[in-house]
Structure 1
Amino acid sequence: MDSTPPEVSVALPAFNAGPTLPAALDSLLAQTHTHFEIVVADDGSMDATPEVLAAYAARDPRVRPLYLPHRGVAHAFNAAVAAARGAFVARMDADDRCLPRRLELQAAHLREHPGTGVVACRVEFGGSREACAGYAAHVDWTNALLTHEAMSLARFVDAPLANPSVMFRRELVAAHGGARQGDFPEDYEMWLRWFEAGVRMDKLPQALLVWNDPPERASRTDPRYDLQAFYRVKAEYLARWLALHNPHHPEVVVLGAGRVTRRRAALLEDHGVRIAAWADIDPRKIGNTVAGVPVVHRHELPGPQACFALSYVASRGAREDIGAFLEARGFRPGVHYITAA
């Protein structure tokens, strides 16, 4: 093996990935960037994953296996990063595929933009848009967020970048921590933490990864990716963001008064945020009170100098409608209101 450290290390956790790992590895070994390694952290697989990995490592020294006891994806990712020798670390999943120029273009972006810590890319959806319409819509949403500013403002809606599409500077893990094990989605929590720490994140406009959506994907099967887990971790980071950016802290006015919105927004109260009013357009809700908090028509909202608005409606069409309404009233995103879900 070349003793010179590679520029890029691919951190690839794998668990029971025997059927998909060959395609993932083939896509990496076909990259136009030549100076890289693939650190595959086998998380105690019980299928053919170890055999597949050993066969690839025997053929190509760029494939570096780590055989670990089963402790979960956060531990496997951290182990891969700890073993990485490259200045840049590319995240990859064992059921996805890279397009040929992914490592080349992302490494070049980090080289040319020293102030950027993380660079993602657009992704191709690798599932059935009919059978997996929600996931496909999420892909379309993330693909529309191309700047640091857009991703930062959208991060309390959902993860604004596809986790396996990311490349970052290895030093960021020492500075801000890697994946944390807990009852929450480890990837989303890490990106929220790094955003909070001020890490700049860019996204390339090219689609450089095929993001597959198999039925056994962890986000579909792992309880840490349960919707309530997302809401809990979002509420913690959103509350801290509000404490720093809301001039009327701890009070907010929440746009949306439906049961789901109220349940999600109420998680903020555990972190000291106080909901001063719910604002809605449904005449059946307006004039009522919920736990002592009045429901008003959104046209009754005071101006941006008198309140901070939190748009907490999950549906995309309604989210855009609320944003347009607030901005027509002089509310600026990130200054007078923020969108969550």
Structure 2
Amino acid sequence: MHPEVSVILPYFNAELTLQRAISSILEQSFTNFELLLVNNNSTDKSADIAGQALQNDSRIVLLDENIPGVVNAMNCGLKNARARFISRMDADDVAHPEKLQKQYNYLENNPIIDFLGSEVEYVPHIAENKGFRRFVDWANSFHTPQEIALKQFIEIPAINPTIFFRRELYEKYGGCRDGNFPEDYEMQLRYLSHGTKMAKLPEKLLEWHDYSTRLTRTDERYSTEAFFQTKAAYFKKWSEQHNPFHPNIWIWGAGRKTRQRSAFLQEQGLNIEGYIDIKKTKPDALFYKELPEPGQLFIVSMVTNTGAGEKIREFLIQRNYAEGKDFILMG
């Protein structure tokens, strides 16, 4: 009998945390799953830990992916997964005992939703990173497909080890892609660009452990520039469908960094009609209080300062600009 859920857990030199991660899956209240443990060139005792776990539980499948990188390990898992639903897990995190059951029930009862995340509990293991904490608070703050569609260009909408999705998404639109971009964000933007409805459960179903070795800290594919480059390609497709003035846009933010990042949008064929700024003194930018009535232009906010995007959003909504129709936040 086929399992209902395939849990993919790639690992590389994770001997200190792997047993805990495996146990959190094996102890799930939902039991009809297979756990694919994908060894990605570990040189420590991780493979021994995985082998020991297999002896105690027949739901475990051991896989080896020799080409380095989490992209290749995840794709190895996807190719070998047998279930209707795919769930992702990281070797240094801990799943809540009800995670699989709650996500399985939700997708079974909501056929229009194809891709599901959840909130996370942030567990820092180094001096707490305020940026990570802010990101977690942000990611935990919205849940509906409509909110995700509007916030997709700010940051990755669903934290990767929480995701649970229908296998046909992989069959239709592919798995992880390798490149100079964050692979998990690219995959979510790609699925969304095809009209996938994504939601998140408003419950903390995963402990997200933050170690100094986390890829998002150590890999240049997770730099801010790489994020903007990835967003630009998918924003172009979004703009074609939703921006009444496509390819014309106005950029909110006239600083040097914003102009550099907006070049990624120009490379995609978007035409920047002008820049908007909160300073009246910038001669080549429109002062934000002099914006025209809604319906005359489309604004992309690219300001990344903490809290700035939310303030811009509030200001535009007060001016009767509609999010998704007159403006979108990116950054």
Give the AA of the match of 2:291.
L
Question: What is the distance in 2 between the residues matched to 1:130 and 1:78?
Answer: 33
Identity %: 39
Q: Give RMSD over aligned pairs.
A: 1.3
Query: What is the DSSP-based 3-state SS (H/G/I as helix, E as strand, rest coil) of the residue aligned with 1:212?
Result: strand
Give the AA of the match of 2:149.
S
The answer on 1:302 being equivalent to 2:292 is yes
Are 1:156 and 1:340, in contact at CA under 8 Å, matched by a contact in 2?
Answer: yes
**1:245: which partner in 2?**
242
Give the AA of the match of 2:191.
W
Question: What is the distance in 1 between the residues matched to 2:109 and 2:237?
Answer: 32
**1:7: which partner in 2?**
4
Question: What is the distance in 2 between the residues matched to 1:219 and 1:35?
Answer: 32
Any idea what the Cα deviations from partners look like across 1:52-77, whole Å, max 9, x if unmatched? Answer: 11111111111111022133111111
Say which of 225, 229, 232 aligns to 2:226: 229
Compute the TM-score of the two structures, normalised by the length of structure 1. Answer: 0.94
Paired residue total: 331
Ranges in structure 2 where 5+ consecutive residues have no aligned partner:
none
Any idea what the Cα deviations from partners look like across 1:231-257, whole Å, max 9, x if unmatched? Answer: 111111112211222111221111111
Question: What is the distance in 2 between the residues matched to 1:32 and 1:240?
Answer: 41
Give the AA of the match of 2:181.
F
Question: What is the distance in 2 between the residues matched to 1:86 and 1:312?
Answer: 40
Question: What is the distance in 1 between the residues matched to 2:275 and 2:243?
Answer: 17
Question: What is the distance in 2 between the residues matched to 1:42 and 1:223?
Answer: 23
Are 1:129 and 1:136, in contact at CA under 8 Å, matched by a contact in 2?
Answer: no
Query: What is the DSSP-based 3-state SS (H/G/I as helix, E as strand, rest coil) of the residue aligned with 2:210?
Result: coil
Any idea what the Cα deviations from partners look like across 1:195-244, whole Å, max 9, x if unmatched? Answer: 00011111111110001111001111122222221111111111221122
Q: CA deviation at 1:129?
A: 8.8
**2:101: which partner in 1?**
104
Query: What is the DSSP-based 3-state SS (H/G/I as helix, E as strand, rest coil) of the residue aligned with 2:53?
Result: helix
Query: What is the DSSP-based 3-state SS (H/G/I as helix, E as strand, rest coil) of the residue aligned with 1:203?
Result: strand
Are 2:126 and 2:211, in contact at CA under 8 Å, matched by a contact in 1?
Answer: no
Question: What is the distance in 1 between the residues matched to 2:111 and 2:290?
Answer: 46
Are 2:65 and 2:72, in contact at CA under 8 Å, matched by a contact in 1?
Answer: no
The answer on 1:311 being equivalent to 2:301 is yes
The answer on 1:24 being equivalent to 2:21 is yes
**1:291: which partner in 2?**
none
Compute the TM-score of the two structures, normalised by the length of structure 2. Answer: 0.97
Say which of 28, 42, 46 aligns to 1:45: 42
Are 2:84 and 2:166, in contact at CA under 8 Å, matched by a contact in 1?
Answer: yes
Q: CA deviation at 1:41?
A: 0.9
Question: What is the distance in 2 between the residues matched to 1:300 and 1:274?
Answer: 21
Q: CA deviation at 1:130?
A: 5.6
Structure 1 outlier segments of 4+, above 3 Å: none
Question: What is the distance in 2 between the residues matched to 1:128 and 1:263?
Answer: 34
Ranges in structure 1 where 5+ consecutive residues have no aligned partner:
288-293
**1:323: which partner in 2?**
313
Are 2:251 and 2:300, in contact at CA under 8 Å, matched by a contact in 1?
Answer: yes
